[in-house]
Amino acid sequence: MHCKDQISHKDYQRSVDWLQSKTQHRPKVAIICGSGLGMLADTLQCQESFKYSDIPGFPQSTVQGHIGRLVFGELKGKTCVCMQGRFHMYEGHSIYKVTFPVRVFKLLGVETLIVTNAAGSIAESYHCGDVMIIRDHINFPGLAGLNPLNGPNDDKFGPRFPPMSGVYDKDLRKLAFDICKRMGVTQFVQEGVYCMVGGPNFESIAEARLLHKLGVDAVGMSTAPEVLVASHCGMRVFGLSLITNKVVKSYEDSETTNHETILEVSKMRSEMLQKLITEIIIHMDINNNQA
Ligand SMILES: O=P(O)(O)O[C@@H]1C[C@H](O)[C@@H](CO)O1
Ligand SMILES: Nc1nc2[nH]cnc2c(=O)[nH]1
């Protein structure tokens, strides 16, 4: 990966101009839907959707369970934009392309980014079907130097050396937990640390044990780059991981992980997740429709 792949302000703006010429919606909230979690977009009212292949600069989704559309609409009167399918580095996209939509959202006027993903549990106490409110992340590709902020800094977006502490908004995390209490679902709600690895392979047992020692609660192949770029440009961030499988940590265990099971579990919890995200959006402070 070279900085030559870096994307210019002009390229983000081209995408923004195209979208703004096609829709009157001016979203304040963007939602990135993880594997199998794209159904939330279907609940938006006054919908207008655009295939990634039609939007200038957008890459294509290639993963099963990621439809590949940007959907604008209203959730109980709040204007949102939903990514039905995200981009992963293992698909062959550069890290700049993976995070491209986030800067487009910023230029569209989005202030809050909600990210969701499917993840495997590392924490012993987690179960399949649990929902983890992300408190913090470990960005393995980032620690190894694969960072969407590599290259000349674009000061129009944010500072050269952005902090990464407290990135997952405390108030939104509390709001989410309070809503879970009201929904009566706290028995399968957790709060923990998400770790991004490169994928596309799932973890070896030794890797899973390493992640456990490092304090990781759930592991997946996405999210950290988008969150990093959102935080760099001053967006408020909230994240949820749906625990779709337990990561094998014992040589005695013959279970293996596969993408089909991940999609099945996502389906099982999709309604609850939709409700939770809808309630969060309804109850959070949004300076709506003042773009
Ligand atoms: O987009 P997310 O992070 O939800 O996708 C997860 C991680 C891998 O891309 C894939 C593995 O099944 O699902
Ligand atoms: N790396 C990784 N990504 C996942 N996405 C969903 N489950 C998993 C998992 O067990 N490991």
- pLDDT band of residue 2 (cuts 50, 70, 90) is low
How large is the average pLDDT for residues 116-142? 97
Phi, psi of 239 (to 5 degrees): -140, 145
Active site residue 93: no
Residue 35 known to bind ligand: yes
Q: Which of 12, 49, 66, 126 is catalytic?
A: 66
Residue 236, pLDDT > 80, answer yes
Q: Which of 55-69, 129-143, 146-160 has the lowest mean pLDDT?
A: 55-69
Domains annotated on the chain, with CATH: 14-283 (3.40.50.1580)
How far apart (Å, rounded) are the C-alpha atoms in residues 3 and 41?
Answer: 33
**In this prediction, what percent of the chain has a pLDDT beyond 70?**
98
CA of 120 to the centre of ligand 2 (A): 4
Q: Which of 274, 238, 272, 265 is nearest to 43 (CA)?
A: 274
Any ligand 1 atom below 6 A from CB of 221: yes
Q: Which of 147, 121, 80 is nearest to 249 (CA)?
A: 121
Q: Which of 222, 220, 193, 2 is nearest to 96 (CA)?
A: 2
For ligand 2, atom 10, the nearest C-alpha belongs to 120
Residue 1, pLDDT > 70, answer no
How far apart (Å, rounded) are the C-alpha atoms in residues 95 and 176?
Answer: 29
Active site residue 91: yes
- pLDDT band of residue 288 (cuts 50, 70, 90) is low
- What burial letters (b/e) apply to 181-199, b meaning 16+ CB within 10 Å? eeeeeeebbbebbbbbbeb
CA of 163 to the centre of ligand 2 (A): 27
- pLDDT band of residue 290 (cuts 50, 70, 90) is very low
Average pLDDT of the chain to the nearest whole number: 94
Tell me: the pLDDT tens digits for 179-191?
999 999 999 999 9
